[in-house]
Structure 1
Amino acid sequence: MKDYLRKHPHVRTIRVAAADLNGQARGKRVPARFAENVVKNGTRFPFSVLNLDIWGEDIDESPLVFEQGDQDGVLRPTERGFMPMPWLEAPTALLPIWMFRENGQPYEGDPRHALRSIVERFKTHGLTPVVAMEMEFFLIDDSGKTLQVPPSPRSGKRRKAAETLSIRALDAFDVFFTDLYDACEAMDIPADTTTSETGLGQFEVNLMHCDDALRAADDAWLFKMLVKGLARRHGFAASFMAKPYLEYSGSGLHTHFSLIDRNGDNVFDSGGPKGTALLRNAVAGCLDAMYDSALIFAPHDNSYERLVPGKHAPTAICWGYENRTSAIRIPAGSPSARRIEHRVAGGDVNPYLMLAAILGGALNGIEDGLEPPSPITGNAYAMDLPQIPANWSDAIDAFEGSAIMPRIFSPELIRNLVLTKRQEVHYISELSPEERTELYLDTV
């Protein structure tokens, strides 16, 4: 890590940042000449900082604040190390960090540690998750009273319609996407294919598969920061808000995963299209945990405007082969690449919590030998099937009362997240629809 700053003497400041429960970056600005001290000794801030609400306010009922004296945690660099922040004017480096207790033990309320604990459970079975994510977002002109698609930097015109898989839509923002790919290269984020999507000014960038789930979540978290920051440099906003336009489809964060054994073989590969018994166990575990973990996949008030029938987001708890109306899809293709696609999460999620919930559910299914119901064929929206929670309050209640979630998340994280979301429910009710959109546009 020290070598990075020696090789980049032009860097003037660094940011040290960790993800809170809402996926917000919390941390500090440090002059570059003092960076070595952070690398060696870490930094400190209160445990409660990883448990703020979406506005960045303390949680009123949290024992972390006054009851425990607002004690400090110790934050140390992750294995990611320094990377540039190409969306800022001054040469700046970002150092991702995560939280530990004074005795060196991981802080259970840190979302990155939640994912780490799931990965370690997989290791005890000789299994390693291989993960890829599809990052959907909107480019938005938010300079006026109403949101609209930005004018093309090439033509000056606004394309006020969905342009699914449109090369024209991609070319209209070619300068932005060229800068985005250059920035991903500099930050070592494995950005692959970009497509235009079904929403107004909506795009998707696929992140390549990775056999390190923590790194995959890092990539998604960093990508969201990068896209939002870089868009502002180009004169418009980028948002991972689940549903900025009611009349168009929202943004998802679809996650593909397989599992490899100690020999590097895909344990979902049966040599044919159906997959193995372990694939079915993993599917069953994901389905079993889906209702109770909906708060992770749809963490905000706006999230539930995306989860409506017929708008390219799942509403039923079901699975199928090559079926995008189901919550769990098994893509076709080479048997060696057999995998599970989990389609519930919105673009507004915390990637660490999302991946912990998906992989944790799958592992529960494998450990318990669960069997899924029959895969569906046809339109899931038209079938009588168990449903994902349709509103925020039901999702909070399900998460809090779940017997499944304590197998995936620590009691401290469950408590902290429930307190956070109940506080947000209370205060969001005081906002107008316009104020809610303004809140979520930049934060999530």
Structure 2
Amino acid sequence: VYACMAALGLPRDTFMHEMGISQFEINLLHGDPLLLADQTFLFKHLLKEVALKHGLNVVCMAKPLAHTPGSSMHIHQSIVEIGTGRNVFSDENGEPTATFRHFIAGQQAGMADFTALFAPNVNSYQRLCHPFASPNNACWSHDNRAAGLRIPASSPLARRVENRLPGADANPYLAIAASLAAGLYGIENRLEPSEPIQGEFEVPDNLSLPCTLHAALERLKRSQLAKELFGKEFIEGYVASKTLELTSFFDEITPWERRVLATQA
């Protein structure tokens, strides 16, 4: 894997075993969002090719195994000035800026509408709606992994917003675009975020997110914000495509239904 990444010019930070069975985490280096989407796309295909060469399979489902942690694609976001490279989320004294607050608020405003882009498959919601630090909410917090938006502990230069909703099955181009577009919407409209959560918390109704693909698609279909930021034609096409996939899923009878319901009916 290391050799192939070097051959493709894919820089990396950490690459290590995670909590789950045969689960690994990689952190790509920060940079231009389109470049990072390209690198994520290439890395996933690189992994599968290397695995096949060794008689193995790599799975990027959000929840490949029951009763184990799911697989995510967390997006760490900061905005820097062109030329100076200054992080606009921190002021000259190292304190959070108004832009930082507005960006968080935009993320919160768009997260429910964009859930179907962050969690695009039926299996995605097996990860989101179960434990193991996979939050299904639009709350934000300082370094609390139960929040959908986490502000990692860092220096002012590295202040950033981590979107913890996207799964490993998300399209990196759409997930990154949706996350940044929501943040920009918050900046342009000077939105203000909710109060940050601390410790154990109950998710307010207005910050809860869809918990099934059907609910997420219905939310996306009705979203004026999504149509404004992505265009009506794209949203309608995406919803139609995913609705066909959902219909195909409902054509199947799962082993659970046979095992549990066959003896009860």
What is the TM-score of this pair, normalised by structure 2?
Answer: 0.91
| Cα distance per residue 1:315-366 (max 9 Å; x no partner) | 1220011111100011112111111111000000100000010000000000
AA at the equivalent of 1:356: A
Q: State the SS of the aligned residue for 2:185.
A: helix
Q: 2:49: which partner in 1?
A: 229
Q: Which has the larger radius of gyration?
A: 1
Q: 5 Å matches for 1:43-442?
A: 180-210=1-31, 212-262=32-82, 263-270=84-91, 275-380=96-201, 382-385=202-205, 386-433=207-254
Q: 1:288-338, CA deviations, whole angstroms, 9 ceiling, x for partnerless residues?
A: 000000000110000000012422101122001111110001111211111
Cα-to-partner distance string for 1:71-118 (whole Å, 9 max, x where unaligned): xxxxxxxxxxxxxxxxxxxxxxxxxxxxxxxxxxxxxxxxxxxxxxxx
Report the Cα offset of residue 271 of structure 1: 5.3
CA distance in 2, matches of 1:301, 1:392: 6
Matches of 2:139 and 2:95, distance apart in 1: 16
Query: In the alignment, residue 71 of structure 2 is paired with which amino acid?
Result: S
Deviations 1:134-190 (A, max 9, x none): xxxxxxxxxxxxxxxxxxxxxxxxxxxxxxxxxxxxxxxxxxxxxx11101111111
> Structure 2: how far apart are the matches of 1:226 and 1:344?
24
SS in structure 1 of the partner of residue 41 of structure 2: helix
Deviation at 1:383, TM superposition (A): 4.3
- Matches of 2:145 and 2:92, distance apart in 1: 23
Q: Once the 2 structures are TM-superposed, how far is the Cα of residue 191 of structure 1 from its aligned partner?
A: 2.1
Q: What's the % identity of the aligned pairs?
A: 38
Deviations 1:25-56 (A, max 9, x none): xxxxxxxxxxxxxxxxxxxxxxxxxxxxxxxx
Secondary structure of the 1:404 match is helix
Q: Where does the alignment leave 5 or more consecutive residues of structure 2 unmatched? A: 256-265
Report if aligned partners of 2:143, 2:150 keep a CA contact under 8 Å in 1: yes
SS of 2:224 mapped into structure 1 = coil
Whether the 8 Å contact between 2:139 and 2:203 is mirrored in structure 1 is no
Check 1:418–1:331 CA distance in 2 against 1; reply closer, same or farther (3 A cut): same
AA of the residue aligned to 1:260: V
Number of matched pairs: 253
Quote the offset at 1:192 in angstroms: 1.9
Higher relative contact order, structure no. (Cα contacts within 8 Å, ≥ 6 residues apart): 2
Distance of 2:228 and 2:184 partners within structure 1: 10
SS at match of 2:175: helix
Q: 1:433 to 1:193 in 2, by over 3 A?
A: farther
Contact between 1:356 and 1:408, CA under 8 Å: does it hold in 2? no
Which structure shows the bigger proportion of residues in strand conformation? 1
How far 1:402 moved relative to its partner?
0.1
Shift in alpha-carbon separation, 1:369–1:194, aligned structure 2, 3 A: same
Cα distance, 1:257 vs. partner? Answer: 1.1
The 8 Å contact of residues 273 and 332 in structure 1, kept in 2 or not, is answered as no
Label 1:412 to 1:324 Cα distance change in 2 as closer, same or farther (>3 A).
same
Which blocks of at least 5 consecutive residues in structure 1 are unaligned? 1-179, 435-444
TM-score, length-normalised on structure 1? Answer: 0.55
Write the distance in 1 (CA, Å) between the matches of 2:96 and 2:241.
39
Q: CA distance change for structure 1 residues 226 and 368 in 2, over 3 Å: closer, same or farther?
A: same
Q: Which amino acid in structure 2 is aligned with residue 233 of structure 1?
A: K
Q: Give, in whole Å, the separation in 2 of the partners of 1:383 and 1:351.
A: 27
Quote the Cα distance in structure 2 between the aligned partners of 1:326 and 1:426: 31
Other structure's SS at 1:341 match = strand
Q: Distance in 1 between matches of 2:95 and 2:86?
A: 17
SS at match of 2:20: coil
Conserved? CA contact 1:271–1:335, under 8 Å: no
8 A Cα contact 1:287 1:318, kept in partner = yes
